[in-house]
Amino acid sequence: MDARLRRVNKEIADCKNDKTSNIKIDLIEESPFHLKGSFPGPEGTPYQGGHFEVDIVIPESYPFQPVKLKFITKVYHPNVSSASGAICLDILKDAWSPVLTLKSTLISLQSLLCSPEPNDPQDAEVAKHYTTSKNSFEDTAIYWTQIYAGGPGPKEKKGKASTARETRDEIAIAGLERAHVEQFEALGFERSKVIDVLRRLNYRGPNVAKLSEDRVVEELLK
């Protein structure tokens, strides 16, 4: 039997038999070389309670070349592209070793969710959000976990009307802070437009990246 096939089949079987880890590997079609991995978001992180799915492609020269992984589930994380799901992780590149397995790689991915590396980002905008305003970043990450990964969502804060919650949600998806959006809304601009412009300018408050309020207003007037 082809060595690559034997190895992948054994890896899939080992993963099935292992009842202690939460890692799952499933076939997408009949091919054992295109798989779907999944794992729960780590406890104590904004990803807690979410279920994350990963697309796995086994290259021709596996295990001598690394597997190709990308998130199917949308993840708000500095080392994951918010648009494509592409992942920046050393063992998927130069630090790959043929002794690593699909399971160990997925565990590494899970642990990447615990410890973001904003200095080596995949998504520069998310990384900037992470470094400049951690709380706001976590709000967005929790929200993404809720809507994309089936997470529990933010802890209920008392006394909020449903419309206010909806607004907060829109802002959270865009990775912005409510106070910033409201500030420009108060100037008479439409909320959706404010969110659009602030997101495009990557606005994190007036002192960050020398982005003045005038500059934002200028964009809003366009």
Question: Binding residues for other proteins, per CB under 8 A?
Answer: 3, 6-7, 10, 61, 63-65, 89-91, 94-95, 97-100, 104-105, 107-108, 111-112, 115, 117
Instruction: CB nearer to other proteins: give 48 or 108.
Output: 108
Distance in Å, CB of 80 to other proteins, minimum: 14
Q: Which candidate, 191, 193, 199, places its Cα nearest to that of 83?
A: 199
Query: Percent helix, strand and coil across the chain, each rounded to 5?
Result: 45, 10, 45
- Position of tokens 């790689």? 105
Distance in Å, CB of 61 to other proteins, minimum: 5
Q: Which residues have CB under 8 Å from 4's CB, separation 6+?
A: 33, 58, 60, 62, 63
Q: Residues 87, 28, 116, CA angle at the centre, nearest 5°?
A: 20
Instruction: CB nearer to other proteins: give 72 or 100.
Output: 100
**Separation of alpha carbons 95 and 120, rounded Å:** 15
88 is catalytic: yes
**Separation of alpha carbons 38 and 188, rounded Å:** 45
The catalytic position among 75, 88, 106, 126 is 88
Distance in Å, CB of 83 to other proteins, minimum: 23
Instruction: CB nearer to other proteins: give 89 or 197.
Output: 89
Distance in Å, CB of 89 to other proteins, minimum: 7
Residues annotated as catalytic are 88
